[in-house]
Chains A and B, each alone.
Chain A
Amino acid sequence: MKKLVCLFTLVLFAVSLMAVPAVVDELLTPEQPKLGGTLTLSVTSSPQSFNFYGTLDGVAYTIAGQFLNALVEMHPVTNALQPALAESWEVSADNKEVTFYLRDVKWSDGEPFTADDVIFTFENFLLNKFAEGNSIARFTINGEVVKFEKVDDKTLKAYLPAPYGPFFTVLSHASIYPSHILKDKIDENDPGSVNELWTTDTPLNEIVGTGPFVLDQYIVDQKVTLKRNEYYWKVDRWGNQLPYFDQLEYLVVKDAQVQSAKFRSGEIDYMTIEAVDYPVLKQMELDGGPFVVYRAQPTNPTPSPIHISFNFNAKNEELAELFSLKNFRAAMEFALDRERIIEEVFNTLAVLGGVPVLPANKAFYNPAIEDLRRPFDPEKAKALLDEMGLVDKNGDGWRNLESGKTLEFVLICSTYQAYQDTAYIFSESLKAIGVKCELQVIDGSLLAQKALSGDFEACLWAFGNQPDPQLRKAIWSPGYSLYYCHFDTMNPETKEPYADLRNMYDWEKQIHYAFEIGQTAMDPRERKVQYGIWQELYAEYVPFIYVCKGMDLMGVSKTLGNFHQTADGALAYAVYTMFRK
């Protein structure tokens, strides 16, 4: 194992970028803009905090994402990594040292951004285990944490314990905080006090950032308003300083129907659309409505692709043994009518997708899985079950286990309608092949609790696709805390795989190795090969049976400029380059 790692780290791959001005590319600015105006969007609840690292609330992330930046960022359309607060960087020959050269940027209050801010953020937030939304796990390699060191005001060094392929990807999620504002407010004796900074009652002029917008006004449960950041560091092709809009508003809209009503009346400029609402809204567009409805190839983590899993360690030992057999899971995949689910639950607006990795993710997707995917074929499912001796012994219409008990299990799923409906169709198909599947619809957070404590038989769930599989290693690599179909592979003490990979099947071990190598490889091609192995094994052994992935459906006001669909079918837009026509 060690040898393998060394071998791949020997393949030198130094990233070195010349200093370039932050000009936004043509993909985001196909049209010449008009300046000014207000962009109105919506969020599904009030932000629980404005402190990105002090909460796990999704709305807080969305809003903080507008006024904060990281050292590097992902291109909003292509997901390619590009410089952000760091103008350029150098990677040492052994891949363990990265030198960042920081951009000449000012905070929204006019103070200069320096290396101290980066050090401050990592020390007090990112790597502070008491911060509720910290990122220690992502910056830990082989049990050791990445270290940062200031060289001078504009230069910074990161020391990696080992080469770490996804380093820049995780870095793109690490927003930098202003040290000059927050330094004095932290209680040094209580590292947990950082969670209570920038709560929703903070005077908004004390919240500064480097992003395109800064907070201006918060009306409880109604609206969050951000105004243009005069010091934002991006310009367009024509030399205009970004963003184009003077204001960005987020209306707090908890109910999906109200959101839809607001969009229809033009109060909200764009929003994600549910597959069930597509026909009506598309019809309204055709009838001359004030908006355009897009149907695009999925590129985003959400809507999360649905999967079905069977617990190898179910409490019922006979079932557990059955679930851990590849042939049983294969039979279940044969019994899964994806076409019908896409038709009835998604209004045909879904694609088969990959196993965890999206087909649109060129950096990692392995198309070989398309031939491995088992299409709906109840006869094959029946044949496989018959072959395993799971036949109807007492003539009651249900198949029986070896012990004579009926072959039945409970499938848990959350209350979200699309999940419920998918589970319902699956259980109907199972009924047709003589397998009794009882549905249990429970609240989403309870589902997580049951699934992650291994207290279930079968589970229908969904985890978002991420651009880099490493970000979801805890789910997809056996032996980690979210690999919930087979918890025996995890050492409960360390929440990691046992050193001797105890209890893992051979194919699980192969996945484990693929992730280990993929993590420390710096060469993107090598990483693609490793994660390709993992995808094939998943398709073959189906620890998680993937159902489908909803398309990106978006409704957009006709008055918005610089919002378009690319030749590949993906949607291209960014908050800081859109404008009002």
Chain B
Amino acid sequence: MASFIIRRILIIIPMMFIVSFICFFLTELQPGDFVSQYLENPRISPEQIELIKERLGLDQPPMTRYVMWLKQIITKGDFGYSFAFKRPVIDLIWERMGWTISIALSTILFQWIVAVPLGIFSALHPYRMWDYILTFVAFIGISIPNFFFALILMYLTNSSGGLFSSQFIGAPLTWAKFYDLLQHVWLPIAVIGLSGLAGLMRVMRGNMLDMLGAPFVNSLRARGLPEKQVRKHVIKNALNPMISIAGMELPNIFSGTVITAIVLNLPTMGPFFYTALLNHDQYLVMTFLMFIAFITQIGNLLADILLAVLDPRIRMS
């Protein structure tokens, strides 16, 4: 087991190298650079543009910059400075990580709490009215463009986005503040959550149907186990394959929040990344992409380990 985990971890290192390379060239190939947004600024002169480029190292050839960047990461753990904020990108990402992760985790929690029971319910009553209604509602959730759904909900509920009313931003945590948060946070959770609900629900329903038809269920029944006990076994077995999905969930939600967070004005990484992308704040964009890639790798790793724990056969392959 240990050697399996070590092998799995070691493989992440070369993969991250390639990821960093792709990130760099993805940002490098984009037309324009950081200073182009300032060209029409009346406070800036052509000499200043050159000076800024020099200071930021933008006058160096791409390959040199990539190697320099990589060297800083390996030797100092320094992922570079944000051109716009003049601060280390890691600090900037870290500042926004709290809310990003909280919202992502709440959304995942919401999805699982809703999707799993509904999937089970659907599977126990396949092709009946409730199955259809649930399927229909869940599918509507994935079929509405996020940005459109968010705006419509905002209009209908007279909500104004964000996470808090202005008087609670920065205020110490009280019950009133927490209540205010709940009043705001349900909107992004609903918008992001509903878009992934149907998928999970359908998978759970399918797993259940598979298990219900599996021979071991018949044998359990034959042994005279009460129906309630049988269902327990079925559900437990149907949940197993969901683990690999869980591993991929976090990064998916991370990226899924980008557009919703822009529309709903959330203080998360999504809008921050988008602005950085448009402004060509290169190291910020690269580090963010690498960070998500890293989380995905970790997610995969955890899922693999969990699966290996549950199913010894996998360790061998």
| A interface residues (Cβ-Cβ under 8 A, vs B) | 40, 45, 48-49, 54-57, 129-130, 132-138, 192, 195-196, 199-201, 217, 219-223, 225, 249, 251-255, 257-258, 261-262, 264-265, 267, 443-446, 448-449, 452, 461, 463-464, 466, 471-472, 474-475, 481-482, 495
Contact = CB atoms under 8 A, between A and B. Distances in A.
B37 interface: yes
A15 B130 CA distance: 85
Contact of B164 (A137, A196, A222, A254): A222
Nearest to A192: B55
B262 A255 contact: yes
B52 A132 contact: yes
Task: Choose among A132, A196, A472 the residue with the greatest number of B CB atoms under 10 Å from its CB.
Answer: A132
A219 B88 CA distance: 18
Interface string B154-165: 100011111111
A130 B166 CA distance: 38
Contacts of A196: 86-87
A138 to B, nearest CB: 8
A257 B262 CA distance: 10
Contacts, number: 143
A262 B161 contact: yes
Given A54-B86, A222-B169, A448-B36, A137 B161 contact: no
28 contacts: A49-B85, A49-B86, A55-B86, A56-B41, A56-B43, A56-B44, A136-B48, A195-B55, A196-B87, A200-B85, A217-B170, A220-B95, A221-B271, A223-B166, A252-B265, A253-B162, A254-B275, A257-B263, A258-B162, A258-B264, A261-B158, A443-B32, A443-B278, A445-B280, A449-B39, A472-B42, A481-B45, A481-B46
A54 B48 CA distance: 12
Contacts of B84: 48, 55, 57
A495 B46 CA distance: 7
B170 A222 contact: yes
A444 B160 contact: no
Contacts of B164: 222
Contacts of A223: 166, 169-170
Interface in B199-215: none
A390 B42 CA distance: 38
Contacts of B36: 445-446, 448-449
B31 interface: yes
Contacts of A449: 32, 36, 39
Nearest to A475: B42
Interface of B: 31-32, 36-48, 51-52, 55, 84-87, 91, 95-96, 151, 154, 158-166, 169-170, 262-265, 267-268, 271-272, 275, 278-280
B186 to A, nearest CB: 16
Question: Dominant SS at the B interface?
Answer: loop
Contacts of B165: 267
B106 to A, nearest CB: 18
Nearest to B271: A254
A253 B166 CA distance: 11
B158 A265 contact: yes
Given A257-B151, A474-B45, 11 more contacts: A45-B275, A220-B267, A223-B170, A251-B166, A255-B264, A262-B162, A267-B160, A448-B36, A448-B40, A461-B40, A475-B42
Nearest to B98: A220
B160 A258 contact: yes
- Which 10 pairs, one residue from A and one from B, show the smallest C-beta to C-beta distance? A221-B267, A445-B37, A261-B160, A448-B39, A258-B161, A449-B36, A258-B265, A223-B169, A445-B36, A262-B160
Nearest to B268: A221
Given A267-B166, A444-B37, A472-B42, A130 B55 contact: yes
